[in-house]
Amino acid sequence: MKEINHLTPRQIVQELDKYIIGQRDAKRNVAIALRNRIRRMMVKSDLQKDIVPNNILMIGSTGVGKTEIARRLAKVAHAPFTKVEASKFTEVGYVGRDVESMVRDLVEQSINLVKESKNEEVKEKAAENVEDILLDILIPPVKTAGFSTARTSSSNGEFDPDKASEQELNEKTRERFRDKLRNGELEDRKVEINVKQSNSMGVGMIGNGMMDDASIAGLQDMLSGMMPKKSKKRKVTIEEARKILMEEETSKLVDFDEVKEEAIFLAENNGIIFIDEVDKIAKSGKNGSGPDVSREGVQRDLLPIVEGSAVNTKYGMVHTDHVLFIAAGAFHVSKPSDLIPELQGRFPIRVELDSLTQEDFVRILREPKNALTKQYQALFEAEEVYLEYTDDSIEEIARIAFKINEEVENIGARRLHTVMSHLLNDFLFDVPDTIQANAKIMITKEMVLERLSSLIQNRDLSQYIL
């Protein structure tokens, strides 16, 4: 996992282009930020430590792709990623404002990533072990005579034909069963296996209010580590047994200390923390006193983490100096300059995202790999119903979505979701009762108009429904 993705900025943008329409500036900047971390890793001198990421502040109204860009970026980079809403820390009743929890989340993601890749590495070996265990269960090895004696006898120079053939027979059966196992002939056969039971102890009661999450989780792990692991015999099919054993064998083969170490390295050097809704923790401009105090408090709490500090997690200390922070907000009411200066300084790169045009909507409906139109096609296809759209129907959907945004409230590309679901709802309801397998549904412009026109004409109605 230590190998870091070597995509060039151009390639990163190309990857992002597969999912996000427009927003060239934002894409270019996140791509540079990502590449800069790779560059930093390659710096040999002492300067390496001093090069800190240029955190990014994305400014753009709702539904234009801010979160989507950050999320995709993390995927492209195979980087641990976590997203928090800054405003969550100002919520009434939210005591303690545990801003460090975002770092713990990040490490958790990192652990998952590393585990996944390690599991993948040992997959074959684990499968081999599982096969042997299953064979031992199916044909218990002959303990007394068989193997051991047969082997020693040959080293003694003596030869016992009976035992030799017994062993041979045994191995033959074993191989026969191995074939059967591999062919999947035995999947439904029941076997008895020992299943280790994890005992999760609830320490919530002692922990409540006295400890932070990390210590609670740590304590929990410690306690369950101290408790003897009970194992229970269970009768399951080979198919299930294979799953259960596979998990056990995999965890035996993967060294968790190594996982922890790599995960912390990965989180520290490759992690991305996305802080959404930072505009909501900025001073609102008006001279309100109450909430502003708490907002500024949150900014002050964020400062050390963004600046670089060590955070205690249940896997160990995590330094946040090289974590990439991407903050985002609409900044309709407040401005970036309403943030406390120290925090502004931690986000030197500002990118403004463009509002989406009607043409963008058309492309968003059509082009991304995971475009909404394709998602619905896939849903219908799952029931063997084939959904098609005429070109002008897509243009019409885009036009309607755009118009509702203008007239009711601009929620960006999210509007496409509400419009599409409204358009297709009846079909989704009718499959498979009245619209059965192999049916074709053609979405035309007329159909779009017919199904949605009453809504666009009636503003009050569309406020509720779309």
Query: Which of 330, 401, 435, 448 lies at the binding interface for ligand ATP (CB under 6 A)?
Result: 330
Distances from the Cα of 327 to the Cα of 54, 55, 173, 305, 428, angstroms: 12, 8, 63, 13, 38
Q: Which does 278 bind (CB under 5 to 8 A by kind): ligand ATP, Mg ion, none?
A: none
Tell me whether residue 403 or residue 414 sits nearer to ligand ATP (CB atom): 414
Contact of 54 with 36, CB cutoff 8 Å: yes
Q: Which does 368 bind (CB under 5 to 8 A by kind): Mg ion, ligand ATP, none?
A: ligand ATP
Q: Which does 414 bind (CB under 5 to 8 A by kind): Mg ion, ligand ATP, none?
A: ligand ATP
CA distance 18 to 16: 5
Number of residues that bind Mg ion (CB under 5 A): 2
CB of 391 to ligand ATP, least distance (A): 19
Distances from the Cα of 244 to the Cα of 132, 230, 249, 252, 373, angstroms: 14, 15, 9, 13, 39
Q: Which does 413 bind (CB under 5 to 8 A by kind): Mg ion, ligand ATP, none?
A: ligand ATP
Is 340 annotated as belonging to a binding site? no
CB of 65 to ligand ATP, least distance (A): 3
Is 207 annotated as belonging to a binding site? no
Tell me whether residue 68 or residue 100 sits nearer to ligand ATP (CB atom): 68
Query: Which of 1, 12, 16, 20 lies at the binding interface for ligand ATP (CB under 6 A)?
Result: 20
Using alpha carbons, select from 395, 394, 378, 375 the residue that is nearest to residue 386.
378
Q: Which does 21 bind (CB under 5 to 8 A by kind): ligand ATP, Mg ion, none?
A: ligand ATP
Tell me whether residue 60 or residue 80 sits nearer to ligand ATP (CB atom): 60
Query: Which of 364, 423, 435, 441 lies at the binding interface for ligand ATP (CB under 6 A)?
Result: 364
Both tokens of 362, joined, read 């058309």
Both tokens of 314, joined, read 């249940």
Both tokens of 306, joined, read 């963004």
Q: Which does 178 bind (CB under 5 to 8 A by kind): Mg ion, ligand ATP, none?
A: none
Query: Which of 5, 54, 67, 410 lies at the binding interface for Mg ion (CB under 5 A)?
Result: 67
> From residue 386 to residue 425, what is the string marking binding to ligand ATP with x (rule CB under 6 A)?
--------------------------xxx-----------
Residue 228 region, left (φ>0) first, then alpha (ψ -120 to 50), else beta? Answer: beta
CB of 60 to ligand ATP, least distance (A): 6
Tell me whether residue 33 or residue 431 sits nearer to ligand ATP (CB atom): 33
Is 176 annotated as belonging to a binding site? no
CB of 300 to ligand ATP, least distance (A): 24
Q: Which does 397 bind (CB under 5 to 8 A by kind): Mg ion, ligand ATP, none?
A: none
CB of 23 to ligand ATP, least distance (A): 5
Piece of the chain touching ligand ATP by CB under 6 A; list 20-28, 149-157, 264-272, 448-456: 20-28
22 binds ligand ATP (CB under 6 A): yes
Is 66 annotated as belonging to a binding site? yes
* CA dihedral (148, 150, 154, 156) positive or negative: positive
Q: Which does 412 bind (CB under 5 to 8 A by kind): ligand ATP, Mg ion, none?
A: ligand ATP
CB of 361 to ligand ATP, least distance (A): 9
Q: How many CB atoms lie within 10 A of CB 393?
A: 21
65 binds ligand ATP (CB under 6 A): yes
Is 62 annotated as belonging to a binding site? no
Q: Strand 190-197 to strand 349-352: parallel, antiparallel, or no bridges (unpaired)? A: unpaired
CA distance 284 to 298: 14
Task: Find the radius of gyration of the CA atoms of the chain.
Answer: 29
Piece of the chain touching ligand ATP by CB under 6 A; list 64-72, 160-168, 169-177, 284-292: 64-72
Using Cβ positions, the residue closest to ligand ATP within the complex turns out to be 65
CB of 21 to ligand ATP, least distance (A): 4
Tell me whether residue 269 or residue 334 sits nearer to ligand ATP (CB atom): 334
What is the binding site for ligand ATP (CB under 6 A)?
A: 20-23, 60, 62-68, 276, 330, 364, 368, 412-414
Binding-site residue ranges:
21, 63-68, 276, 342, 414
What is the binding site for Mg ion (CB under 5 A)?
A: 66-67
Binding-site residue ranges for ATP:
21, 63-68, 276, 342, 414
